[in-house]
Amino acid sequence: MATTGIMNGTDLKIKLTGSSIAYLTSNGESYTNSLRETTNKDSGGNAEYAYGKFGGTWDAELLHVEGGTNGFSFLFGAMTGRTVLAAEVTTGVTGDKKYTCSVLVGDVKRTEPMEDNTTVTCTLTITGAVTEATV
C-alpha cells in the first residue's frame, strides 16, 4: 500500500546498479529545465521563453565504511573510470513512485575530521531521461 501523509525522508534511498548506497544519512534530488529566450519583434515588448534542456542532479551524504556497498571506493572508481551507472530513487513501498535514470559521478568528497565520523558526499549528474513509475 502506498505511503500516506507526509513522507519520512528516511524511507527514500538512492540505489546504484540495483543496491542501496550503504550508510546513507541524507540524499536529495534537483531537477532543472533550462529556458531559451524566443523574444522577437512580434512579442510586443514582452519577454518570451520556451523550454530547453531538462537535467538534474542527485546528491548523497553517507558515513564512510571501508568496503561499504556503493561507498567511497565504488563512487571514486565509477568517476575515474567514467562509468555510466543505473540509478533509482525509491522507498521500495508498493504503490509509491520511483524514479530511474542513468547517472555520472560528477564529484565525490571524503571528509575526515578529528575524532569524528568520516563522511562522503557525492553529486550524481543525470544523463538522459528520468522515468517515473509506480513500485
Per the domain annotation, does 47 fall within a domain? no
**43 located within any domain:** no
60 falls within a domain: yes
**Residue 96: inside a domain:** yes
DSSP label of 11: G
Within a domain: 90 = yes
How many Å apart are CA 80 and CA 58, to the nearest integer? Answer: 18
What are all long-range contacts of 51-54, with beta carbons under 8 Å and residues at least 24 apart?
Answer: 54/129, 54/130
User: What pLDDT, in 10s, does the model give residues 57-71?
Assistant: 999 999 999 988 899
Q: Classify residue 115: in a domain, yes or no.
A: yes
Whole-angstrom distance, CA of residue 32 vs CA of residue 56: 6
Tally the domains of the chain. Answer: 1
- In a domain, residue 7? The reply is no
Claim: this prediction has a pTM higher than 0.85: yes
Query: Which range of residues forms the domain containing residue 65?
Result: 16-32+52-134
pLDDT tens per residue across span 2-37: 899 999 999 999 999 999 999 999 999 999 999 999
